[in-house]
Structure 1
Amino acid sequence: MSPEPVLVTGSDYREWLGQLKTRFGQVQLKAAVAVNRALLQFYWELGADIVAKQQAYAWGSGFLDQLSADLMRDFPDVKGFSPRNLKYIRQWRLFWQGQAIGQHAVAQLQSLPWGHNLAILAKCKQSEEALYYVGAALQYGWSRSVLIHQMESDLWQREGRAITNFAQTLPAAQSDLAAQVLKDPYVFDFLSLTPEHSERELETTLVAHITQFLLELGAGFAYIGRQVPLQVGERDFFLDLLFYHTRLHCYVVVELKTVDFEPEFAGKLNFYLKAVDEQLRGEGDQPTIGLLLCKSKDRLVAEYALSDIQKPMGLSTYTLSHTLPEALRGQLPSIEQLERELGLDAGADEAAQAGKAEP
């Protein structure tokens, strides 16, 4: 009789096994990326061939049907040779063929999944916009659904459009990056609020949908809390929303206003930024940045108001894609009920904030 196998259960084996699984996962990922890049390079060259053959021989649309049938006869399991996909390949190459893009841009296109490329092709009309989304999708690792959401919300048109005083209050490198982080307007299409919603309602529902809120804010924002308490002298003050930005390496205070911008809002936020810098900012943190989110603004008034403010801040507006009719208000749970159900009451936030270690 053969001896019974001895099971290895020691910590050294488990640690090595974990490392082995991690390494194999990395190999699988690298292989998938390499396969995708090779496939997209083939599509790129195939698209060029299709365009060139049709121009040289005046082959009509039936050419793609015949090509599809001939290729699928030898490669029946390859979905990429369907007539529909061959048309997409031709359209993809034609779109970029007339653009002045370099090899780096082509390499970026070939690094994105094919579904991402098709989504960009369907949504973008000009190369500058398309290249923006190609680069952003690669940089932030967007899924196709996130990419489509960002394109449908016109992120390209909104990014870096907030009114700020960063050029006067931050070093050049930090100023440029901070300005690019903010956008105008912010689109809260994941909220359903009445047209007369209060600041508390807006704040509560944003936190209740924190995942979508962080997606709209953009990469790098880490949520810390709402109604964060600060004591100055004998008085207590509360920040609407507090974030930390991992790329800017600074706190970001967000103040919500459901009315038109007024100059005094900037003065109050300036006070909050001073308090955060004094009480929360740690060694290695950059100066705290403020963001005023208002229902609307007069641009000239906003620029005047921010011009003499000493602390870095930006001003943006927000939009709601859909609002609830007033008649439905009484049929919905109150803000207090929502807060209790979600655990978002001020007491819970204060307790969580008190237990949070400073970075």
Structure 2
Amino acid sequence: MGKEALPVKPIFLTDIRNIINSARHNAVRSVDYCRVQMYWHIGQRIFEEEQQGKERADYGTYLIKNLAKSLEPEYGSGFSYRQLAFCRQFYRLYPIVNAVRSQLNWTQYRLLIQMDDPDKREYYELEAVNNGWTAREMERQIHSQLYERLLLSNDKEAVLAVARKKRVPQTPQEIIKDPMILEFLGLERKAEYYESDMENAIITHLQQFLLEMGNGFTFVARQKRLLLEDDEFFADLVLYNRILRCFVVIEIKTGKLTHQDIGQLQMYVNYFDRKEKLPEENPTIGILLCSAKNDTAVKMTLPEDNRTILAS
């Protein structure tokens, strides 16, 4: 009788899968980086050739157009006039090849080189590397004006210092955006929503929601039960932020914010500070996610030194 086949151990199978997936990922990254390097060198060569005819104002335009006519039939649309113009701009913005990051692909660099503001360009470049953004996620953050939203409550140097990893965020305002853009929830345009509709949509798109919230967020609980004597209360969402080292309680309000909503959230924050928070952790943050708010009402309802309750 032949020997029976032994079952593959799960941990062994997992190890082999990890090796295969890692090799495939590295192969794609290697191809992407080689492509970026190719376009950089093309841009460098175009720029050098262009400088030889610098006395002619339109020489660069004609040069690229004629080059595209020669290359495109042979190599395809990746060498069109527009693409070659991007190559030249790429080299001009990144004249040192060592400044080109291997973590970013050509699609991401195309998004970056279309930005006129160098600080804005640097911010998205650094954050894409720091957070491992795909090209699609990077494009979404740009179109939702992440940089501009952070500047509404922070100064430019502080925002760039965090992206450069020269400082750690100290306040919720440095991480949490106001307003938040939640188009990925896929909710239809309706006059009214129940809070449960939005909560369900957030849970369905949890990864994207955590990315929109900011850096360092992890999921803790949904409809967290809080028992105060004989009364039950339920916090909509509870997160934890590893950077700020604190709990984050989120209440969803689809109508206009009221002072009663703020008072309820303050109670939840107090509960977590007194019952859940460890001594070495920082005070709990409360966020009211609402469709409309009155900033003056928020300020008048909360203490002047409030740093833990936010409405977005």
Q: Same fold (TM over 0.5)?
A: yes
Note if 1:66 corresponds to 2:66.
Answer: yes
1:119-161, Cα deviation, whole Å (9 max, x unpaired): 2344x34333222222221211111111111122122222364
Return closer, same or farther for 1:93/1:285 CA change in 2, 3 Å cut-off: same
Say how many residue pairs are matched: 291
CA contact (8 A) 1:160 1:179 kept: no
CA-CA distance at 1:263 after TM superposition: 3.2
CA-CA distance at 1:254 after TM superposition: 0.6
The 5 Å alignment of 1:134-173 reads 134-159=125-150, 161=152
- 2:177 corresponds, among 171, 183, 188, to 183
Q: Which amino acid aligns with 1:64?
A: I
Aligned twin of 2:252: 256
The 5 Å alignment of 1:54-203 reads 54-58=53-57, 59=59, 61-68=61-68, 81-93=79-91, 96=93, 107=99, 112-122=104-114, 124-159=115-150, 161=152, 176-189=170-183, 190-203=186-199
SS at match of 1:42: helix
TM-score by length of 1: 0.65
1:294-326, Cα deviation, whole Å (9 max, x unpaired): 22223233233333466622221xxxxxxxxxx
Return closer, same or farther for 1:87/1:223 CA change in 2, 3 Å cut-off: same
CA contact (8 A) 1:203 1:240 kept: yes
CA contact (8 A) 1:273 1:311 kept: no
Measured in 2, the distance between the counterparts of 1:234 and 1:103 equals: 67
CA RMSD in angstroms comes to 3.9
CA contact (8 A) 1:203 1:256 kept: yes
Q: Which amino acid aligns with 2:48?
A: D
CA-CA distance at 1:253 after TM superposition: 0.4
Q: Which has the larger radius of gyration?
A: 1
More deviation, 31-40/268-277: 31-40
Measured in 1, the distance between the counterparts of 2:275 and 2:110 equals: 49
Return closer, same or farther for 1:259/1:91 CA change in 2, 3 Å cut-off: same
SS at match of 1:248: coil
Measured in 2, the distance between the counterparts of 1:250 and 1:52 equals: 56
Return closer, same or farther for 1:238/1:57 CA change in 2, 3 Å cut-off: same
More deviation, 235-244/301-310: 301-310
Measured in 2, the distance between the counterparts of 1:233 and 1:108 equals: 60
Q: Which amino acid aligns with 2:54?
A: Q
TM-score by length of 2: 0.74
State the 4+ residue runs in structure 1 displaced beyond 4 angstroms.
17-34, 68-73, 76-82, 108-111
Note if 1:46 corresponds to 2:45.
Answer: yes
Q: Which runs of 5+ in 1 are unaligned?
A: 1-8, 164-172, 317-359
CA-CA distance at 1:61 after TM superposition: 3.0
Percent of residue pairs identical: 24
Measured in 2, the distance between the counterparts of 1:217 and 1:238 equals: 21
The 5 Å alignment of 1:270-285 reads 270-282=266-278, 284-285=280-281
SS at match of 1:159: helix
CA-CA distance at 1:242 after TM superposition: 0.9
Q: Which amino acid aligns with 1:87?
A: A
